[in-house]
Amino acid sequence: SFDLTQPPSVSVSPGQTATITCSGEKLGDRYVCWYQQKPGQSPVEVIYQDNKRPSGIPERLSGSNSGNTATLTISGTQVMDEGDYYCQVWDGNTAVFGGGTKLTVL
Amino acid sequence: EVQLVESGGGLVQPGGSLRVSCAASGFTFSSYWMSWVRQAPGKGLEWVANIKEDGTERYYVDSVRGRFTISRDNDKKSLFLEMNNLRAEDTAVYSCARVAMYFFDSDTFPEAFDIWGQGTMVTVSS
């Protein structure tokens, strides 16, 4: 099965840029989605097709995907951005999630 | 309002069975693939199963294949997950999710989980 690897945690100061990576073999050949999950809440889709934002997602969240690595970038990080972030791809008609990255803003 | 509401979770003994449900509203349920995703306490997201719009195709993660069955009732706008021979490692919050699709080269492909329910807790313990 296809594996996705994320760093367990990322820390950033308010106003700075946070970068969360997701690695997998030839990941650039697949579309990557990203989800944000805050404590006690359901996940929310924040990026689809590598770099597209659903309606209502701020422009300071952006995505890219090339080679073996996809990246979620949060510019001007705010305290409200704290939470767990998961990357996800489709392997045929089955879904694969990365292990998740806890973003701390301090 | 587009909404997914799960129900049916609870405490079950190892080897037991449970059926969880998901009620959809605010969108044309019969036009979407649907999925179940679970999250064990303190752990990450794990995709469990998918079902095509008309129920003719179903896919499962290896760890539940043969024990879990995903199904749907489009008339009642409902999604189900029948879980048999439950194990302690199946303990998790089970959430239903809508699958957004995209079109390419005269075919459709899964894109993302664009709507999620709040989840229902399933605990497998003696």
Asked if B95 and A97 come within 8 Å (Cβ–Cβ), the reply is no
Asked if A54 and B61 come within 8 Å (Cβ–Cβ), the reply is no
For A45, which residue in chain B has the nearest alpha carbon? B114
Residue A7 has pLDDT above 90, yes or no: yes
Return the beta strands (E) in B13-91 as ranges.
18-25, 33-39, 45-51, 58-60, 68-73, 78-83
Asked if A93 and B102 come within 8 Å (Cβ–Cβ), the reply is no
CA distance A22 to chain B (A): 14
Average pLDDT, chain A: 97
* B120 contacts chain A (CB < 8 A): no
> What pLDDT score does B106 carry?
87
What's the mean pLDDT in A66-75? 98
pLDDT tens, chain B, 126 aa long: 999 999 999 999 999 999 999 999 999 999 999 999 999 999 999 999 999 999 999 999 999 999 999 999 999 999 999 999 999 999 999 999 999 998 888 888 889 999 999 999 999 999
Q: Are A71 and A63 in contact (CB under 8 A)?
A: yes
Q: How many CB pairs under 8 A join A and B?
A: 62
Q: Are A66 and A28 in contact (CB under 8 A)?
A: yes
> What pLDDT score does B42 carry?
96
What's the mean pLDDT in A57-72? 98
For B109, which residue in chain A has the nearest alpha carbon? A93
Phi, psi at residue A79, to the nearest 5°? -55, -35
For A48, which residue in chain B has the nearest alpha carbon? B112
CA distance A84 to chain B (A): 9
